[in-house]
Chain A
Amino acid sequence: MSPIFNSIERSSVELTKEDFVSGLPVKWCPGCGNHAILTAVENVFPKIGYKKENFVLISGIGCSSRFPYYVNTYGFHGIHGRANAIATGVKVANPRLSVWVTTGDGDSMAIGGNHFIHIIRRNVDINILVFNNMIYGLTKGQYSPTTPMGTVTKTSPYGTIEHPFNTGELVLGAQGTFFARVPDNNVKLMTEVMFEAAKHDGTSVVEILQNCVIYFDKGHSHITGKDVKDDMQLILRNGEPMIFGSKRNKGIRLKGTRLEVVTIGENGITEDDILVHDQYQQDPGIHLMLAKMGPPHFPVAMGVIRSAMYPTYDDLVEIQIEEAKKNSNIKSVNDLLNSGDIFEIK
């Protein structure tokens, strides 16, 4: 919780999932990964403990951005790419709100790329849920900034020729203080990670590997599929060694300046050789390597990759305002108008 200004009022009664169900018919496709995200949000909001009227959900455009309609909070459905700019205004105007943004890969990293990197750079205390399905869903199947190179889509009949963004790399490149990744089929982990995001002071980005059942079905299944997930996902826990695999015998080791996958029990490798996760360290070096890990040689890192403490923009705003109020004799606009060079006609 914020060391300085976390003043979001907490609920005096225990809230439940029902407190946050809007009751509107949910219009996502059957089988869409968004349903699981909705469940996780409804799970985590009551756990966070703020009064229910202190949550604000803000979105841009796309399937992800219909989200605010389905949660009973204050909600604002904005325009394409601009959710993070709108959210910044909300948080600066009233830091006593818990502000959440739901966005997609196109909304946040294509049309809204500028706002995305700048909200992260400023470290505004906002939680951003990026629904990354690697495709434009609501406009029916064009490639996005995270679509893997070579993918055939509506607008890339010959395969895409663009290098995709790695969301974590972009976030850390923009000096992100919190980045987590979760698959959409692990609601338990998603709920935990969202809770961590809420706790973090600053911009928390949670990338959700979300399945678009219509336009990019099973796009993530080589990572999230039931049969492969144990070998393809490294679920990070702070303070614990980075061990994964269906036999729990694989781990990540630092060799020289690079990471490598090793097998415990082979070639004299023991658990002591395995890197221990430190999500709080300031230096983003290892965090960046973890965010970039992926097939074919590595598993994909899941859970909280980075959660570093830096001053938040909104706290600094409050501090400057409080200081300025203390140090000024001008207490009202009338005082201001009557200060400085004045010429009096008597």
Chain B
Amino acid sequence: MSKVKNAIELESAVIKFVGDSGDGMQLTGTLFADTCAYDGNDLTTFPDYPAEIRPPANTIDGVSGFQIHFGSKKILTFGEKLDVLVALNPASLKVNLKWTKKDTIIIVNIDEFTQQNLEKCKYDSNPLEDGTLKDMKIIKIPVNTIIKEKAAHLNLDNKALLRSKNMFMLGFVLHIFNKKTSYVENYLNKKFASKKDILELNKLILKVGYDYYNELPDVKDISFYIPSAKLEKGKYKNINGNIATAWGLMAAAERAKLKLFLGSYPITPATEILVELSHHKYLDVRVFQAEDEIAGICSAIGASFAGALGVTSTSGPGLSLKSEALGLAVMTELPLVVVDVQRGGPSTGLPTKSEQADLLQALYGRNGEAPLIVMAAESPADCFYSAYWAAKLSIEHMTPCILLTDGSLGNGSELFKIPDIYTLPDIKPPYADPNKPYYPYERNPETLARYWAIPGTENLRHRIGGLEKRNISGVVSTDPENHELMVKLRAEKVQRIANYIPEQEVFGEEQGDLLVVSWGSTKGVIRESVIEMQKEGKKVSHAHFKYIMPLPRNTEKIFSNFKKIIVCELNNGQFVAYLRATLPQFKYAQANKIQTLPFLISELKEKYYKLLEE
């Protein structure tokens, strides 16, 4: 896109569409984001929606939102304060005011600011008139009135007409950012191909919204332009973490020449992985929607025993239910990937909100000594690579792997540069040799992985299970020394994986005053905070961990090069507890937030400065 006349050029912007559940905010946001991607902007998106499907209309409980952070620079975070807030009703405005700043542009559907709707969300007076928003630029549009007028000729009732409110706002905002409506129109053409009247309505109202900009005399200074980002050459998709996870697993199965089997039970916010994989039968993906979480993991273990890549996807409460079976997978030493899309806990907790509080459960939540691989994805697109590596390590080292993502990664999206999966590292299953006598617990001397004997193969009949087995022979054994040996072998096998994963990277200088340590979905915001500290002349570096169990083998060396270490995580201190147990020679400060919200750069920097001054 060339420069736009009279438009203010911005490096990046944060925009959020908010409204009632059912107002189509998720779709609106996604279409805006895809349009940005089409224009070559880098971006991240963050949906924010209630657990209920259709909570009472116009209430606080029913507010659904979709945030887009897009720009001409690399976008690392979901964005903090909003540049533009589009609110379709008073409740959604009320809920999101905390994300506004002095110069936030607020666009509201004035027709919904009725006395009744204001009362429903417990506004004593109209915030548009009582001075609440006095510093902000407010654009009040009678969207309902305009739609009824402009679409009167269509043979649709009022309810159907007003469903196009989101298209009005989308068109209007596209105009503000000097973007075209063609991407959205193409989408609508496909989506409503069989519903001509709905298609006509949506396209009409999109255009009405777009053109309405010209009818407002006082918005001429509100015109922005964000140039394309300097992205590497290549093909990109706007992808969320759950889809990326599903695709990474499929890529791993193809590279390992294994069938992919998913046994899973629907649970927010992990369900989309199950939904996505169920669409790819043409790539021989076998998806079993199980009767419960336990059947999900057990069927996956059965599939792995039978020679497939067994996977189960879940969220926190489901991981609790899978604990016993995870122990079985540890004992039988089979490949198994468990994806835990973490949500706020404990118990049912906050199903649609994001938290990093399942780490200790992933590391230790089983009976007996049951070590396994624990990994954490660091961005929506990284879910693809993390899922690939989780499968690779699990297969090659014959041990289950828990991959932690979370709600913000699963639902959040960013641009994903499409790779050729044949450029990814090879995956070689450690198959047993049918021409040699087979002992189920004979191990590869380097990795300590046992060999995988697939049912149906001649000469490899054997029996495994949850009872302790004698080393090498695999015969059931309660021998005390053997048990100790087996416990240590299983632990050592997992530790040796440190020799097969990338070394830990440090962002910034290798030495300094402060090392900021983090894991999982917080990478972007913490990286931004560290960049700001570095710009301010501080000797601060960042180590973001993807491999948690085992830790990369250079972890100790990295830690030893910094005067202070702070561990930042969205829980009450879990990674830090693990680090204190694993590398107790270091002193760790903490930054924790347990509000199911991302860190703010400002609050992180405040912690760093305080620590540096101590």
Contact = CB atoms under 8 A, between A and B. Distances in A.
A109 to B, nearest CB: 15
Contacts of B324: 79
Contacts of B247: 333, 336-337
Contacts of B455: 53-54, 56, 74, 90, 94, 97
Contacts of B467: 77
Contacts, number: 209
A102 to B, nearest CB: 12
B306 A89 contact: yes
Contacts of B283: 330-333, 336
Given A343-B236, A345-B236, A336 B280 contact: yes
Given A77-B463, A94-B308, A89 B301 contact: yes
Q: Which of B232, B282, B288, B462 has the most CB of A within 10 A?
A: B282
A24 interface: yes
Given A94-B455, A334-B420, A337-B418, A53 B461 contact: yes
A59 B305 CA distance: 13
B396 to A, nearest CB: 19
A90 B263 CA distance: 11
A112 to B, nearest CB: 9
A253 interface: no
Contact of B303 (A79, A90, A328, A331): A90
A93 B306 contact: yes
B273 to A, nearest CB: 15
Interface string A311-346: 000000100110011011011111011101111111
A33 interface: no
B261 interface: yes
B527 to A, nearest CB: 22
Contact of B298 (A22, A85, A91): A85
A52 B461 CA distance: 9
Interface in A278-334: 317, 320-321, 324-325, 327-328, 330-334
Contacts of A325: 281-282, 284
Contacts of A317: 286
B422 A88 contact: no
A87 B295 CA distance: 10
Contacts of A118: 290-291, 295
A86 interface: yes
Of A317, A330, A334, which is in contact with the most chain B CB atoms at under 10 Å from its CB? A334
A73 interface: yes
Contacts of B305: 74, 76, 86, 89-90
A115 B306 CA distance: 19
B237 A340 contact: yes
A327 B251 CA distance: 21
Nearest to B286: A92
Nearest to A76: B305
Interface string A79-108: 100100111111111101100000000000
A52 B462 CA distance: 12
A114 interface: yes
B105 to A, nearest CB: 26
Most A CB contacts (10 A, CB to CB) among B237, B301, B305, B306 go to B306
Interface residues of B, number: 71
Contacts of A327: 282
A141 interface: no
Contacts of A345: 40, 228, 231-236
B184 to A, nearest CB: 12
B152 interface: no
B294 A85 contact: yes
A88 B295 contact: yes
A69 interface: yes
Contacts of B263: 85, 88-89
A72 interface: yes
Contacts of B238: 341, 343
A114 B303 contact: no
B317 interface: no
A78 interface: yes
Nearest to B416: A337
B356 interface: no
A89 B237 contact: no
Interface centre among A114, A324, A337 (most CB of B within 10 A): A337
A54 to B, nearest CB: 6
B328 interface: yes
A168 interface: no
Contact of A90 (B234, B302, B421, B465): B302
Interface string B313-346: 0000000000011011000100000000000000
Interface in A20-36: 22, 24
Contacts of A328: 282
A58 interface: yes
Contacts of B250: 333, 336
Nearest to A86: B302
Contact of A75 (B228, B254, B307, B464): B464
Interface string B432-458: 000000000000000000000101111
A338 B295 contact: no
A94 B307 CA distance: 8
Contact of B466 (A56, A79, A91, A94): A79
B600 interface: no
B175 interface: no
Contacts of A89: 261, 263, 288, 298-306, 308, 310
Nearest to B464: A76
A68 B440 CA distance: 15
Contact of A76 (B302, B308, B325, B422): B302
Best-surrounded residue of A22, A93, A114, A333 (most CB of chain B within 10 A): A93
A59 B308 CA distance: 20
Contacts of B456: 9, 53-54, 74, 94, 96-97
Contact of A332 (B254, B291, B304): B254
B460 interface: yes
Contacts of A56: 306, 455
Contacts of A24: 475
A23 to B, nearest CB: 11
17 contacts: A24-B475, A53-B456, A53-B457, A73-B461, A76-B305, A77-B466, A79-B327, A85-B291, A89-B310, A90-B303, A92-B286, A115-B294, A325-B284, A337-B237, A342-B236, A343-B235, A344-B236
Interface of B: 34, 37-38, 40, 228, 231-238, 247, 250-251, 254, 259, 261, 263, 280-284, 286, 288, 290-292, 294-295, 298-308, 310, 324-325, 327-328, 332, 415, 418-422, 453, 455-467, 475-476
When A and B form their complex, which 8 residue pairs have the shortest distance between CB atoms, in order from nearest?
A77-B465, A89-B302, A89-B299, A75-B463, A328-B282, A85-B298, A86-B302, A93-B303
Given A54-B455, A90-B305, 4 more contacts: A74-B463, A75-B464, A89-B302, A332-B254
